[in-house]
């Protein structure tokens, strides 16, 4: 990938910076029992979440709670309203990947950083403390009343940042939510294909897209962009 001119890196948060599979499974497994595999839970979660986010806007806390109840129905487990709400609240306890904080610090020495996340403001405010990074722009689903892959979320980032699209790269774990819409707007994109219980997909809908660069960790991304090396050159 040509790294020339990059000034701003925007990130998806959950799945890219935050280990949402571990957090999600820790919250859902006690509700669903031992019969569905991790991969099955992630597959069905991705389907349900996409359905909920495609309808009339719901806050992400409500999306999480409704998804927990629907997964209970699909796997023949009774999930109470209280248990579903507790699962939604658990998002604030989900932890960053081991390389996230260090890599963000390294990247911030060369680039501005941003967030485009399908989340509520109050939930992200707790997560933000764990990331220990300064973000020049943060766009949440709550702020724009829509969820990625809607272009509205990316267009709001462009408006707020004031950075020309040719100087931005967007990085995310989801081809469906991040790579495809970023590319459609002419942004360079990086697919952060994290190790997953559902390889190559994770807890989202499977989709085909062509990122400018594929990496498997944030540390690899930082190295590819020349952060911390004194060089802006990177291998494609």
Q: What confidence tens digit (pLDDT) does each residue in 61-100 have?
A: 999 999 999 999 999 999 999 999 999 999 999 999 999 9
Q: In sequence order, which residues have a C-beta less than 8 Å from that of residue 28 and are 6 or more positions away?
A: 41, 45, 68, 71, 87
- Which pLDDT tens digit goes with each residue over 40-60? 999 999 999 999 999 999 999
CA pair distance 215, 14, nearest whole angstrom: 16
Does residue 223 contact residue 190 with C-beta atoms inside 8 Å? Answer: no
**8-19+96-224 against 20-93: fold identical:** no
First to last CA, the chain: 4
Q: Among all chains, which residue has been given the structure tokens 């699962």?
A: 87
The Cβ of residue 236 has, within 10 Å, a number of other Cβ atoms equal to: 8
User: Residue 223: its pLDDT value, please?
Assistant: 96
At residue 234 the predicted structure's pLDDT band, cuts being 50, 70 and 90, is very low
CATH topology of domain 20-93: DNA polymerase; domain 1 (1.10.150)
Instruction: Output the CA–CA distances (angstroms, integers) from residue 55 to 151, 183, 185, 223, in the order listed.
Output: 16, 24, 23, 39
Q: Which CATH superfamily is domain 8-19+96-224 in?
A: HAD superfamily/HAD-like (3.40.50.1000)
Q: Compute the mean pLDDT over every residue in the chain, rounded to the nearest whole number.
A: 95
71 close to 79: Cβ distance less than 8 angstroms: yes
Query: Could you give the residue numbers annotated as active site?
Result: 12
Q: Look at residue 236 in the predicted model and tell me its pLDDT.
A: 32
DSSP calls for 85-119: HHHHHGGGGPPBPTTHHHHHHHHHTTSEEEEEESS
Is the pLDDT reported for residue 231 higher than 70? no
Name the helix (H) or strand (E) containing 137.
Answer: strand 137-140
Least confident of 146-160, 200-214, 218-232: 218-232
Write down the domain spans for the chain. 8-19+96-224, 20-93
For residue 52, what pLDDT is reported? 98
- Work out the pLDDT band at 16, boundaries 50, 70, 90: very high
pLDDT for 228 = 65
């Amino acid at each position: 990938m040509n790294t020339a001119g990059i000034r701003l890196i925007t990130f998806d948060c959950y799945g890219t910076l935050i280990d949402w599979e571990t957090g999600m499974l820790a919250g859902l497994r006690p509700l669903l029992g031992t019969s569905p595999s991790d991969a099955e839970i992630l597959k069905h979660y991705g389907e349900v979440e996409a359905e909920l986010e495609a309808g009339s806007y719901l806050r992400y806390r409500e999306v999480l709670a409704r998804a927990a109840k629907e997964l209970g129905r699909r796997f023949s487990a009774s999930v109470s309203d209280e248990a579903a709400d507790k699962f939604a609240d658990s998002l604030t306890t989900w932890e960053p990947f081991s390389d996230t904080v260090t890599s963000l610090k390294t990247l911030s020495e060369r680039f501005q950083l941003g967030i485009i996340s399908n989340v509520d403001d109050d939930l992200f405010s707790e997560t933000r403390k764990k990331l220990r990074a300064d973000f020049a722009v943060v766009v949440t689903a709550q702020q724009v009343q829509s969820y990625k892959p809607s272009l509205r979320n990316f267009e709001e980032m462009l408006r707020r940042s004031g950075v020309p699209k040719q100087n931005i790269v967007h990085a995310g774990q989801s081809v469906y939510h991040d790579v495809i819409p970023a590319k459609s707007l002419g942004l360079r994109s990086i697919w952060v294909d994290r190790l997953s219980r559902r390889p190559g997909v994770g807890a989202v809908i499977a989709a085909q897209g062509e990122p400018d660069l594929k990496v498997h960790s944030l540390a690899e991304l930082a190295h590819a962009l020349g952060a911390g090396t004194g060089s802006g050159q990177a291998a494609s």
